[in-house]
Amino acid sequence: MTRIEKKVVIRAPLEKVYAFASDWRNLGRYFVYVHEVKPRTEKTLGEGARLSLRVKFLGRMMDSEWEGIEHIENVSWAFNATLMGLTAVKRWHFARFNDSTQVTFTLEYRPSPPVIGHIMDLLIIRRRWESLYERSFQTLKQLVEGETEAAS
């Protein structure tokens, strides 16, 4: 099992960070690899929510489906995400950190096929995801902090 974790502290109130990050319309603004997001259900967050995404990964445009598996307002949310025939679990967790908010994001997946997939994951795929998520959460930080400063 591969597990990637990213943390970022954002100088903004938890409720504001949560509202921005969990709004499906903002996913393409901070996830640097997401090019298009479309809801497939009226519900866009939590169990049963479904989103279709157009993403660029490893130099190719691909389709991904996200299905909500949990949601606790202002605390956490999670999706099962399918890409390249694999399903990964993506989780966001939000916590107050002094006058700021700490966002913890985890991605968990099992490389496939077992031997070749594991080697490809070690050599290429994991590093690429780590880089994309590092850039994405720095972008989230910049966007939310910029909106917070503009509102002040």
If you ran DSSP here, which 8-state letter would residue 24 be given?
Answer: G
Mean of per-residue pLDDT scores for the chain? 93
- Whether the link from the prior residue into 114 is cis, omega within 30° of 0, is no
Between 3.40.605.10, 3.30.70.580, 3.40.309.10, 3.30.530.20, what CATH number should domain 2-151 receive?
3.30.530.20
Residues 6 or more apart in contact with residue 1 via CB below 8 angstroms: 108, 109, 110
Task: Determine what percent of the chain is predicted with pLDDT higher than 70.
Answer: 99
**If you compute the radius of gyration of the chain from its CA atoms, what whole number of angstroms results?**
15
Q: How confident is the model at residue 152 (pLDDT cuts 50, 70, 90)?
A: low
- Mean pLDDT on 51-79: 95
Q: Given this model, what pLDDT does residue 63 score?
A: 96
- The answer to whether 67 and 46 have CB atoms below 8 angstroms apart is no
Distances, alpha carbon 88 to alpha carbons 40, 68, 94, 108, 145, in Å: 19, 12, 20, 5, 29
Q: Given this model, what pLDDT does residue 64 score?
A: 95
Q: Where are the domains of the chain?
A: 2-151
Q: Model's pTM, two decimal places?
A: 0.89
Candidates 71, 90, 97; CA nearest to 14 is: 97
